[in-house]
Amino acid sequence: MQQGATFKTLAEKFAADKTALPSDFVSPTEADEAATSVIEKLHKSGVYQFGVRINKAGDYPAKLRDAKHPVELLYYQGTWELSEMRGLAVVGSRKPSGEGAKRAGRLARELVARGFSVVSGLAAGIDKAAHTAALEAGGRTIAVIGTPLGENYPKENVDLQAHIAKEHLLVSQVPVLRYAVQPFQHKRYYFPERNATMSALTEGTIIVEAGETSGTLTQARAALYQGRKLFILESCFNNPAITWPARFEKEGAIRVRDPEDIWQALRPE
């Protein structure tokens, strides 16, 4: 990704030229050099096995095109087929209440029991609780991360990321070379971008717990825009400190009093 480009400007570029491929915008030499540098960089970070999915090539998930600024290229490690399973995202605060983390775990187990993959963002808090519970329940989990492959945030999830990359599915849209030269404060913008991709990859997003300014709300907006189901746990509605649950409910979000509310709203098998 070139200096100054954003996922939005790139999406606009590709929308204007229906047949374009990422390498069409630079010379073949530049494209080759970039590919070689990416591979070198990933090898240095210990990533020897990875795959790419490019829009218009085979195995690119058509569902990603529902995003407002769909990604043209993404990297992955692990079992790509998990992206073809039915899946729901379980997301929320990085600093949840004890009860919130438990709820995330219960939901993840419920999803596993129904044969759904548990998709989350590998952040601290709710994300970690959801991934971990899915693994403990013997289910499948997908992490859509806000760093390039081979990089971790937060550090506490290093082992979890390595395990998901090996045995499950780790997805990153973050440009490897651009990321390497960006100042730290700019790198955090990849997290909300990946929320939109995570939403597009799934049939719906379940918000367990989130503050008024949480990045999770990016995913809520993306889910509604993309025509995905947005589920909000009843406990969020009872929190006097936040106004977003009622706002999103008016826009079509589904209030979850009981897990059955989720299954009722999804299309049958």
Partner 1 sequence: MSFTEVDDLIRVDHNALEAGDNCLFLREYKANAGYEGETNSLIWNLKKKPSERTTKGGWHHKGRAINQVSRELAGALNPEWLDHATLVPIPGSKAVDHPDYDDRMEQICRGIRPNLDVRGLVKQTSSTEASHAAGDGNRASVEELLANYQLDETLTDPAPSGIGIFDDVLTVGRHFRAMHTILSQRFPGVPITGIFIARTIHPNPFEDIDLPDWT
* Residue 138 within binding range of partner 1, rule CB under 8 A: no
DSSP string covering 175-237, please?
-HHHHHTS-HHHHTTHHHHHHHHHHHHSSEEEE----TT-THHHHHHHHHHTT-EEEEEHHHH
Q: Which of 210, 176, 185 is nearest to 77 (CA)?
A: 176
Q: How far apart are CA 255 and CA 207, in angstroms?
A: 10
Among 30, 84, 251, 260, binds partner 1 (CB under 8 A): 84
Site for partner 1 (CB under 8 A): how many residues?
Answer: 14
Among 45, 79, 97, 152, binds partner 1 (CB under 8 A): 79
Q: Which of 93, 92, 191 is nearest to 144 (CA)?
A: 191
- In terms of phi and psi (left: phi > 0; alpha: psi -120 to 50; beta: otherwise), the region of 158 is alpha
* Residue 136 within binding range of partner 1, rule CB under 8 A: no
Among 30, 81, 156, 212, binds partner 1 (CB under 8 A): 81
- The stretch among 57-65, 127-135, 176-184, 222-230 that binds partner 1 (CB under 8 A) is 57-65
Here's the x/- map for partner 1, 17-46, by CB under 8 A: it reads as ----x-------------x---x-------
Task: Report the nearest approach of partner 1 to the CB of residue 86 (Å).
Answer: 13
Q: Which of 53, 21, 29, 58 is nearest to 149 (CA)?
A: 53
- The stretch among 56-64, 154-162, 204-212, 244-252 that binds partner 1 (CB under 8 A) is 56-64
Binding site for partner 1 (CB under 8 A): 21, 35, 39, 49, 51, 54, 56-59, 79-81, 84
